[in-house]
Structure 1
Amino acid sequence: MFFAGGLGANPHPAQALEEFTPRDQLLATLEAILRVQNNHGNRDNKLRARMKWLVDTMGVEELRERIFKERKFLIASATYPAGVPRVVDERGDAPAGVGTEVPADLGSPVEFRALDPFQKWNLANVVRGRANGTVSAYTWCRLGDITTAQFRGLAQVQRDFGVEVRITNRQNFVLRALTEEQLPSLFARLSQLGMAESGAELARDVVACPGADTCNLAVTQSRGLADDIGNALEDAGLSEVGGVRINISGCTNSCGQHHISDIGFFGLERRAHGRPAPGYQMLLGGRVANMEIQFGEKASKLPAKRASEAVVRVVGKFAAERDAGETFSQWLDRAGGAKQVGTLVADLDNFPDPDEHPEFYIDFDETGPYEAAVGDSECAT
């Protein structure tokens, strides 16, 4: 079990609580952690009301000891969650055999050209569990958007097919507990809803926070950049490359989880030729896997309107050079790390004359000159 991790402007890696937590102690341990945060967390400053800050103020060893002490005496509490929940005893909790992480796709871009639409969707969006034969299917929501009509249609699909519907951390839906026989009719229903695009959770599936559209802390239009990157990858023939995740935040606070993405961006204000302009910091190599965490390292700053070209260059180099089964992080390490790969895009970090190219001084989906207007927000990072 890991605890006290967090992203935000000051990311903290989660800490291992103990070598092994027994199943019948899991819920009691969770309650003990919550009690320690409730008793010792910062109540005066919402920006510090996170357990990750207790690691800084208290130290991880002291924090562990308080959690163990709380768990030891929790047995006397009226809320003590003893044992394994009945539903787990009844249904079990063995893994299906396939995780939800993006696979490495055996070292080359996924090719769908010779397949019909159903075959493309079946190959890219359907996940089959090796251990117990489960069948699940992703529905792609571009930029994480879904209309009311699509929501109602998806609810009817859930009722008609008798499946579970869950949301992924890449802003898509996944339908679980399917059968092989249901897949053709499910594809037809999702096609009618406009949710059967093949390649959900591949390179084209860029994740972004709401950005300056609705957030008072954001300084850039992150959703506009996400859309631009998706289109650029489509035009370059790289949208169906697997094993690479792209995440964008409109500020440093990591609501888009840019710190733990293969390719991450966070928005910042740039100045060129005496004018403010939208820009991004590009990070490379973030990951959470194999009992470890690695936050992305800075590669290069970029004008907002050139970030898509930078992604095309990096993803193209990754697709061309990767070995069979190699992940993006493994390739990045072999290629020299974030700073070395960042030299591939360093020439893009320049702003042209505003009179010749005024578009560099206007953010995506905006009509007027860029201005970094930051206000109060409900966000607590």
Structure 2
Amino acid sequence: MSVTTLSEVEERHSREAIEREIVRFEERIRELQSGTITPEQFRPFRLKHGTYGQRQPGFQMLRVKIAAGVLRPAQLRVLADIADEYSTGRGHLTTRENVQFHFVKLENVGAAMRLLADAGLTTREACGNTVRNVTACPVAGICPGEAFDVTPYALGVSRYLLRHPDFHDLPRKFKIAFSGCENDGDCAVAGIHDVGLIAQVRGSNGTPHRGFKVLVGGGLGSLPTTAAVLSDFLPEEELLPTIEAILRVFTETGNRKNKLLARLKFVLRAKGIEEFRRLVTEKRKVSEAPAETLAVPSPIKPSLVTIAPTPRSFSAAEPQSDPEYDRWAGHNLMFQRQAGYGAVWVKLPAGTFYSNQMRGLANVLEKNELTGVRIAVNQDLVIPWVPFDRVRAIYNGLRTLDLATAGARTISDVTGCPGATTCNLGITRPLTLADVLSRELNGYTDPEIQKLRIKISGCPNSCGHHHIADIGFYGNVRKVGEQQAPYYQLLLGGKVNADGVRFARQIMAVPARPIPAIIRELLAFYQQDRQAAAETFSAGVARTQDKTIKDWLLPLAEVT
């Protein structure tokens, strides 16, 4: 089936169509409960609707797609209601800019879906072999280094592909990310996606033309792969047709027999970038996707595509002496490219976000005439468009919600997935470790140490992005005596920047308990061994042999 008109796109997202979708989900639940269908028959349908079985029998994880990470106050309140009514009073922000709710009973999923639909949110295609949430740089539209705001493009692509009849049963999951610049290690990390899009502006005779550098076939997991360049410059109006063409090539050539070899990166490995480019070109010739610039109001996306307020004038606030506030502002406040405005980073402990904080943040935004917040891939929140004369008021409001923790985007801002706490695949519990590390690493003042990133996954699948961390961990287990003990594989030196992606290298397996001490010892080794004050941790790791690092850390890693 082909989507030939924009009216068909809108019909897919009508409230009536969504209600039919929810009713059908509830019917399938009843069929499961009556024994008409088996759990295995229900599983792909459940996943396609963003409902993932937990390791605890009888409970589900409900994953809510937040397109481009953009949330408005009313949506925050709906998420809070779902957290209280159907979950545990909290949600979890993910590295895919989703919000997850755990311990949801299957019979309550339909009711939660209706609340989400009323707020313009959905769980549809948040799991399974589908196009997952389309992510974007959390500072898009305000970043001093961006080519242009990619938010409208991310929202437009998300809306076009959501519920697309041809793309909800792919060979494997498919991830798309938009970045406003090449140096996107803390933003969108385009180079690790099935399709990564980096904003570019080119032109001649004084006429600039927007477009994208297109990367394809990236991914993490057990075989981390850097994306290849499909196009150095794709004109913006070619965005939808080209993404559709890539998806059609993937649909026809992806491995449907072995899910371990089913991601797009394996198609690239088998065919090479030149043949893949040829196949995409052929599919583009017959694509019926509309050629859209997406920079202006369009039927395939909401007309309001930014969260910028109406321009206003203001005066700077009187300075106040407050060391705690100054420390917070030093890392949690960034300048926008628009004069007089800043963006506030809200540091969350590995993405844990409580319902009272959701409601309270909605109130803070509205009280200060701010229209939205964004989820970042490092599991923090970003409040853009804060006039400098309101920063102190925002800080005070966040502090009452326990959301004014200093140290955003520093070594103490640790990324982690839920792991074995709820996930069937999880081996260890990254959230527990991330919480400990966040507190214990908060006192470092060395600028080179402060800028480091720690990322933790509960298994090799890299939901916590451990492959691209300065210091990464993924969970495994070892037998110690007669007991199974939680261990982590230590990885060092991962990075994403304007030069591309460099995956961290595996160093050694370490027991979970002494990891805080192991990190402190690792940092002490770096400070003692660095060849100059300006030598980065990454450079130090790159020139140091694995054996040297192992020998230094081994006394702490031995289990007695």
- The match for 1:261 among 469, 485, 497 is 469
Amino acid at match of 2:296: R
Aligned to 1:50: 263
Q: Give 1:190's match in structure 2, choosing from 384, 387, 398.
A: 398
Which whole-Å deviations, capped at 9, do the CAs of 1:19-67 have from their partners, x for residues lacking one? Answer: 3223333333222222222232233444444211212333332212211
Q: 1:144 is matched with which residue?
A: 351
1:330 aligns with 2:539: yes
Question: Which of 355, 358, 383 is the aligned partner of 1:175?
Answer: 383
Task: State the 1:152 CA deviation.
Answer: 0.6
Distance 1:232 1:120, change over 3 A: closer
Looking at structure 2, the residues matched to 339 and 24 of structure 1 have their Cα atoms a distance apart, in angstroms, of: 52
Post-superposition shift, 1:164?
2.8
Matches within 5 A, 1:20-35: 20-35=233-248
For residue 498 of structure 2, what is the aligned residue in structure 1?
Answer: 290
**Which residue of 2 is the match for residue 116 of structure 1?**
323
Q: Compute the displacement of 1:221 (Å).
A: 1.6
1-structure distance, mates of 2:533, 2:238 = 41
Letter matched to residue 540 of structure 2: W
Q: Please, which of 425, 440, 451 is the counterpart of residue 217 of structure 1?
A: 425
Are the counterparts in 1 of residues 477 and 485 from structure 2 also a CA contact under 8 Å? yes
5+ residue gaps in structure 1?
94-113, 353-381
Bigger drift between 123-132 and 191-200 goes to 123-132
Which residue of the partner structure matches residue 15 of structure 1?
228
Q: Which amino acid aligns with 1:118?
A: Y
Give me the whole-angstrom Cα distance separating, in 1, the residues matched to 2:343 and 2:231. 33
- Could you say which structure has the greater relative contact order, defined with CA pairs below 8 angstroms and 6 or more residues apart? 1
Equivalent residue for 2:364? 157
C-alpha separation in 2, matches of 1:91 and 1:152: 23
Residue deviations 1:94-144, cap 9 Å, x none? xxxxxxxxxxxxxxxxxxxx9522211111100103476641001111121
Pick the structure with more strand per residue.
2
Amino acid at match of 1:34: L
Following superposition, the deviation at residue 211 of structure 1 comes to 1.1
Distance 2:355 2:459 in 1: 29
Measured in 2, the distance between the counterparts of 1:239 and 1:152 equals 35
- Equivalent residues of 1:230, 1:239 under 8 A apart: no
Matched, 1:248 2:452: no
Question: Which one of 511, 520, 527 corresponds to residue 303 of structure 1?
Answer: 511
Partner residue, 1:379: none
Change in CA separation of 1:87 and 1:309 when aligned onto 2, cut-off 3 Å: farther
1:72 alignment partner in structure 2: 285
Give the TM-score normalised by the residue count of structure 2.
0.54
Instruction: Measure the CA separation in 1 of the matches of 2:531 and 2:334.
Output: 24
The farther-off stretch of 240-249 and 201-210 is 240-249
The 2-side partners of 1:28 and 1:132 are apart by 37
User: Is the CA contact (8 Å cut-off) linking 1:238 and 1:316 kept in structure 2?
Assistant: no
TM-score, normalization by structure 1: 0.77
Query: How far did residue 8 of structure 1 move?
Result: 1.0
* Separation of aligned partners in 2, 1:225 and 1:126: 26
280-289 or 151-160, larger mean C-alpha shift = 151-160
Report how far residue 248 of structure 1 moved: 0.7
SS in 2 for 1:199: coil
Q: Per-residue deviation at 1:234? A: 4.0
Q: Report the Cα distance in structure 1 between the residues aligned to 2:416 and 2:531, rounded to whole angstroms.
A: 26
The alignment yields a C-alpha RMSD, in angstroms, of 2.8
Distance 1:127 1:285 in 2: 26
1:3 — aligned with what? 216
Contact 2:444 2:450 in 1 (8 A): no
Identity %: 33
State the one-letter code of the partner of 2:522: V
CA contact (8 A) 2:335 2:343 kept: yes
Which residue of 332, 349, 357 corresponds with 1:125?
A: 332
Is 1:81 aligned with 2:291? yes
Residue type of the partner of 1:41?
Answer: G
Cross-structure match for 1:370? none
* Matches of 2:527 and 2:285, distance apart in 1: 52
Q: 1:71 and 1:85 mapped to 2: Cα distance?
A: 21
Q: 1:322 to 1:179 in 2, by over 3 A?
A: farther
